[in-house]
Structure 1
Amino acid sequence: MGGVKAHLKPGVMFIFITVCLDMMALGLAIPVLPRLIETFVGSVTAASWWSGVFNSLWGFTQFICSPILGSLSDRFGRRPIILMSNLGLALDYLIMALSGNLMWLLIGRLLNGVTSSSITTAYAYISDISEPDERAQMYGYIGAAFGVGFVMGPALGGMLGHIDLRLPFWVAGGLSLLNALYGALVLPESLDKDHRKPFSLRDANPIGSILFLWQAKSVMRLALISMVSNFAHHVIPATFVLYASYRLGWSGREVGLAMAYYAVWAVIVQGGLTGLVVKRIGEKATLVIGLLCGVVGFISYGYHTDWRVFLITIPIMSCWGMTNAALQSLMTTRVGTSDQGLLQGAVNSLMSLSGIIAPFVFGYILSVMTRPGVDKVWSGAAFFSAAAVLLVAFLMALGVRDRSKDAPVPKVPKPVHHDHEPLF
């Protein structure tokens, strides 16, 4: 954090903590949400389909709301968006904890999609306060914070779920509320007023945000790699809990411990190795190697049933996490300071397109492969499909140019605002 101004260092620490707590809250819910859905619908097959529906609709809300929240953070600053998001997450988890039927559980999940912008805005915050040469390492630290949250979240969620399936949602809501209160005390604003820009509906919609990316072709390629990689990632929340129970015979506790083990390796890779690897071989090589590790990991997940092979595969799979830090570092150096929130909202909106489709696709594949009469060996098909998708991202990454070799991207012109266009 050598390049961070002294008055912003408490904010950096809060960003790491808020990412950690948000991921811990999410991790608490992961082992129990599909099982809670199953209590409403009655079978693994039906729960697989509904889990896909839940996650697809969550992705749709992200697609619509991410560019709005990103543009709002460019207009009003990062601090108010992050704090409101944390308060909204507390409300979401409360609704899910109290849900008496599938519809209320879905409403809570949709509100979660609307308000879970703190991670997106956190990336913009880090971009505001760090120098270009430091960003890959800083984003690696955020990845480590993700991992720390998942170390504690799934393991605790699995254990709390044994007591009551709704208890993890209560704890997740409490963590989000505490996070908001903590941020209100310590989080300084990172975006200077002279770097802010007017809010415009032309920017703050999915189509406008994607056009913003299209104006810088190198950014669009990187955003598409993020989108394709994110598509593959959705196989884990959409199917892993049910797959591990169906094919491997794991309980919620064992699933939580496996996720925690993965998170330990994520901390090691992203918190310790990512910055070193990027400095040694550059962002592009880090991106390519990380994607290839993900392909190998998914193939192993879908093929092997021995828990010892899973333990060996997880360190390889965790190296996939280096790709996000490399992508963020490459993208944020290609746009101006006043557009970082718009960039993050646009990228998240584009990634949300995959979030709309992927959970339903992978959930449907698992649903088909777990029907009566289908051999259990075919239940790994969703992971093989994810490996094929990630291979596409790998091939796209081969055409990426390192930041040092890339020509500077012209500043994206600000849109012309018309009188009828709402601004504030």
Structure 2
Amino acid sequence: MKLPVVFILISVMLDAMGIGLIVPVMPDLLQEVQGASLASAALWGGVLSTTFAAMQFLFGPLLGALSDRFGRRPVLLLSLVVMAADYLVMAVAGSIWLLFGARIVGGITAATQSTANAYMADISSPGQKAANFGLIGAAFGMGFVFGPLIGGVLAEYGTRAPFYAAAGLAAANAVFGYFVLKETVNDRIRRPFEWRRANPFGVFKYLARLPGLGPLLVVYFFYQVAFTVYPAIWSYYTLERFAWSPGMRGLSLALFGIAMAVVQGGLIRPILRRLGERGAVIYGHVADVVVFGLIGVVSSGTLLLILTPLAALPAVITPALQSIMSKSVDDNQQGELQGALTSVSALAMIISPMVMTYVFYSFTGPTAPIYMPGAPFFLSAILIGFGLMVFLRARPRS
């Protein structure tokens, strides 16, 4: 594997690890900074998470558009340097408002997945794009696995230790990228920067005009909302239904992350050879409807644990869909497209947790019409089914 690709995969993995590294220690850190109760800390934790996702939504297209104009290399390297500094600020922060400001900056620097995807699109032939986007998905999955595990271990050395580790990892990768990352944006594909196409609303409006791309963005959005049921609900669902311990919940999520990495990093290639990109998207949607339905009704914790890695099999949807959309735009619009997809994902991360947790409360709380803790997974199955219908009617340009 070429060193620039290694750098891109490490950058994406750090985006996922950086979040997971600090998750185990955030409740203790917020109580330490505020001197308040766990309930108050949880409230502020939600505010910080929403702020982080909102910044990704707003700045994903901006960074993508900047990379189309000035190149992928400066955007990626500068973001890593600022990310390292941001984690150092969080490591010494003594007030909730300083943490809040740091999460704003952190959300902006973490919006570079659009630029990483654009770089991968630049160096990939049309036939390689889906598989290479799968590598990015696998890297994100591995970061999702290792982040909480490493963060939990480092938390034993104090509430600030994970932040110093995250800063060190970001800085080290910036140095690595400085020496190995080559620029892929040349005069042939360089595009002037325009503010109207560097914000999420303007870029959605423009891209939606391209033949068949608007429906694909809708499909991508509904998939992201449905998929976010896992981080939003999994811990509450398994505790309510099977009384799983934190260790068991963490183990099951790690198992899910490993399975996702295997699917997007390896299995996607034979699936694409057999089904093609369009067939892979259809297969993934059908499989997701089945998996979400089974999770919603499963009555045994052992069966749910068996289902957990199987739930990653539909993960071919994202790279296959990204590849189809990447082929639907010009070479000088790759950063713009990937920025839009980053904003779509961030918007889903803003909306889905609120919706899914409300549905869970509505069907498990004291006023629930019927007791149904699996209701959020049924909702996800419905969303996936709707997305499949939209996809079947879409006819993107090539």
Letter in 2 for 1:353: L
Cα–Cα, structure 1 residues 232 and 407, in superposed 2: closer, same or farther, change >3 Å? closer
Q: Which residue, 350, 359, 372 being the options, matches 1:356?
A: 350
Contact preservation (8 Å) 2:79, 2:112: yes
Matched, 1:24 2:17: yes
For residues 163 and 299 of structure 2, the distance between their equivalents in structure 1, rounded to whole angstroms, comes to: 30
Q: CA deviation at 1:71?
A: 0.7
Tell me the amino acid that sits aligned with residue 157 of structure 1: G
Match of 1:257 among 247, 251, 276: 251
Q: What's the CA shift for 1:383?
A: 3.2
Report how far residue 366 of structure 1 moved.
4.5
CA distance in 1, matches of 2:31, 2:299: 24
Match for residue 292 of structure 1 among 249, 264, 286:
286
Give distance in 1, aligned partners of 2:223 and 2:192. 32
Residue 414 of structure 1: aligned partner: none
Cα root mean square deviation, aligned: 3.0
Structure 2 Cα separation of the partners of residues 30 and 122 of structure 1: 24
Q: CA deviation at 1:211?
A: 1.8
**Residue from 359, 382, 395 that aligns with 1:388:** 382
Matched AA of 2:217 = A
Q: Tell me the TM-score normalized by structure 2.
A: 0.87
State the distance in 1 between where 2:209 and 2:368 align: 48
For residue 273 of structure 1, report the CA deviation from its aligned partner: 1.0
Give the aligned partner of residue 303 of structure 2.
309
The 3-state SS of whatever aligns with 1:153 is helix
Which of 58, 61, 68 is equivalent to 1:74?
Answer: 68
Q: CA deviation at 1:370?
A: 6.6
TM-score by length of 1: 0.82
**In 1: Cα distance, 2:169 partner to 2:370 partner:** 38
- Candidates 90, 103, 107, aligned match of 2:101: 107
Which position in structure 2 is the counterpart of 1:416? none
CA distance in 1, matches of 2:363, 2:294: 18
Q: Answer whether contact 1:15 1:122 (CA < 8 A) is retained.
A: yes
2:388 and 2:47 map into 1 onto residues whose CA distance is 28
Aligned pairs for 1:5-404 within 5 A: 9-33=2-26, 42=37, 51-100=45-94, 102-161=96-155, 164-245=158-239, 247-304=241-298, 306-366=300-360, 378-401=372-395
- Return 5+ residue gaps in structure 1 as ranges: 2-8, 409-424
Shift of 1:374: 7.0
Letter in 1 for 2:22: A
Q: 1:353-411, CA deviations, whole angstroms, 9 ceiling, x for partnerless residues?
A: 3333222223444456676787996444333333332332232222245xxxx654xxx
Deviation at 1:124, TM superposition (A): 0.2
The DSSP-based 3-state class of the residue aligned with 1:217 is coil
- Equivalents in 1 of 2:184, 2:299: separation in Å? 47
Distance 1:96 1:303 in 2: 42
CA distance in 2, matches of 1:383, 1:319: 16
Deviation digits for residues 174-212 of structure 1, max 9, x if unmatched?
222222221112111111133211111121122220122
Q: From the superposition, tell whether residues 20 and 57 of structure 1 become closer, same or farther in structure 2 (CA, over 3 Å).
A: closer
The 1:332/1:230 distance shift into structure 2, 3 A limit, reads same
| Larger deviation, residues 243-252 vs 53-62 | 243-252
% identical equivalent positions: 37
Contact kept in structure 1, 2:17 and 2:148, CA below 8 Å = yes
Change (3 A) 1:160 1:386: farther
- The C-alpha deviation readout for 1:284-341, integer Å capped at 9, x for no partner, is 1211221233333334444446432232212221122111110111011111111111
SS at 2:212 equivalent: helix
Amino acid at match of 2:319: A
